[in-house]
Structure 1
Amino acid sequence: MPLPSRVGDLGPFDLLLSVARLGSVGAAARAHGISQPAASSRLRHLERRLGLELLTRSPTGSRLTEHGALVTDWARTAVEAAATLEAGIASLHHGAESRLPVAASMTIAEYLLPHWLVRFHATVPGTTIALTTGNSDEVVAAVLDGSARIGFVESPRVPGALRSQLVGRDELTLIVAPGHPWSRRVRTGITPAELAATPLVSRERGSGTRLSLERALGRGTEAPLAEPLLELSSTTAIKTAVAEGVAPAVLSSLAVARDVAAGSLVAVPVTGLDLHRRLRAVHRRGHQLVGAARDLAALARRSFEAATRAEGTGGQAAPLSQGGPRPAQ
């Protein structure tokens, strides 16, 4: 059937996703190889086409409105599906062996995998990555049913039917709006019991971020966990909700570093609670990790090792576009 006129052209939605990820129209324009006026024009045309205000613009950058966060969340699936379609078509020109189906959880896909893929394509030319994203449970399902040869997850739970290998670590961070009462407790922190009792803006069930937090709180306090105030399926939508004062949230430090540095969000310590977690590559037992899949897992692991060495020797590990270690070049 014909695509609806408001969503038939995915290009402006892809540009909006870049604004959400990079924090400004200018940075998104550079990423797409167009001028800033051209990018602004396309985004304003998209707003007129949808009849919605998607961005709040200021001299320091652009921030998604509440409607913009929701549209971005929904658009991500369509844009990623288009990218998968393009990758699949491209793979037909290179043969089946040149196509590597990969599944990645949202945090890894958004904040780490793009940099891994730049290095991967430089060292393994001619291999097309067919990427699908989802929460950790969905990644596990894709690897188990064979639609992905390798997956990347941050969940502490890996089924016995899969083999896993550690590729790196990150840390969960409690974030609040600048005007939230907890923003005045940056020095003293809050207790695990306080966090457990507070309804949060949360990822959906099946998310590695949500499961890691629930596991950590289960070890750190006997208090019952409050039900989430709001469940959203993307980090961008969650950060927008927190910045608007809806409720606190807990996300990867990779996802919030730039927002905290800019002052739009405040990171609050949780006393006596270990929020570190492991990032893993997974594949099916009985299926050896070979070829391009093995190379991608090794590259991801080396990226974290290089960043750790830089920090351990007093060097500064260069940040990603939104914080975290940069893969080795």
Structure 2
Amino acid sequence: MTLEQLRVFVLVAEHLHMTRAAERLHMTQSAVSASVAALEASCGVALFHRVGRRIELTDAGAGFLPEARAILARVEAARTVLADFSGLKRGRLALKASQTIANYWLGPLLYRFHVLYPEIELSLSVGNTAQVSAAVLEGEVDLGFVEGEVNEVLLARSPIPGDRLVLVVAASHPWVGRERIGPEELLDLPFVLREAGSGTRQMFESALARAGIAPDRLKVVLDLPSNEAVLSAVIAGAGATVISDLVARSELAAGTLARLPLSLPPRSFYALRHADRYHSRAAAALLELARSAGDGAGAV
């Protein structure tokens, strides 16, 4: 059993497709198949069912997958420790961020980090708050960046400057121009919201609860999985939404959206790291930059 065989097994198990795994690994499909076969031979057990053109994990394969991931995570942690001795001249940082942060806030910060530490390799994936938290817990990434509340004892949270939520509608909406909107009046509006599990949705529902309004009383006409989908539906007239001012900024400036006068508190973003795993100098340097980022991406 080799580390390369473990990497191949994990990618095949995640995709359940030899060709897709081969593309991710920059290997030929025959080399991937040979690696899996060699691992199965060394273990003396089948890890996959071959069902026609499909493959499925056997019980042994499903049980082995978290152990293989854990081994690879420990190897990456060991590499990180050694890379720190190079004084931030070499190394890798794997990151995962929620959509708002990844698409509207994090890019300038990562560019600034790259200018300071050009030999540190950065990788970024995107998910909602729940998915980011899970990736940090599983050791798939070194740092996570989220907007939502996370209550997990194994995750260390560091607040960083964030954004503010705003209530917006299409520019043609009849409520545009109103001077005041009370919380109870929100029940008269149809809403387009991000999916459950997103930080934006969590904070809006928390603000409603503090105002004495049960979130399930809202008329939610659409639950959508991305900020862009939410904005396009609102611009088309589907309803109102509460979303990050970073996300809405360009459409507000263009006049396709209008902001309604509802006061919502500013929110911090949070950097997440596993409390029991090694915290590299590269991760610490990125967090220090994030804490000094100011109000949103414009100050980065």
By how many angstroms is 1:199 displaced?
A: 3.3
Match of 2:5 in 1: none
**SS of residue paired to 2:252:** helix
* 1:291 and 2:291 matched: no
> Percent sequence identity over matched residues?
37
* 1:246 and 2:238 matched: yes
Match of 2:61 in 1: none
Distance 2:253 2:151 in 1: 33
By how many angstroms is 1:196 displaced?
A: 4.4
**SS of residue paired to 1:184:** coil
Match of 2:130 in 1: 137
* 1:106 and 2:99 matched: yes
Length-normalised TM-score, structure 1: 0.61
Aligned with 1:182 (options 175, 178, 186): 175
User: Given residue 199 of structure 1, which amino acid in structure 2 is its aligned partner?
Assistant: P
Equivalence map 1:1-329=2 (5 Å): 97=83, 98-185=91-178, 188-196=179-187, 198-223=189-214, 224-270=216-262, 273-304=263-294, 324-328=296-300
Q: Which has the larger radius of gyration?
A: 2
Distance 1:242 1:143 in 2: 33
Q: Deviations over 1:150-191 (max 9, x none)?
A: 100100333222111111121101110011122132xx1311
By how many angstroms is 1:118 displaced?
A: 0.6
Which ranges of 4 or more aligned residues in structure 1 deviate by more than 6 Å? none
Change (3 A) 1:160 1:2: closer
Distance 1:139 1:299 in 2: 20
Q: Deviations over 1:285-324 (max 9, x none)?
A: 22353311111111111111xx5xxxxxxxxxxxxxxxx4
Structure 1: gaps of 5 or more residues = 4-91, 308-323
CA-atom RMSD in angstroms: 2.4
Structure 2: gaps of 5 or more residues = 1-16, 20-75, 84-90
Length-normalised TM-score, structure 2: 0.67
Distance 1:221 1:269 in 2: 19
Distance 1:241 1:303 in 2: 31
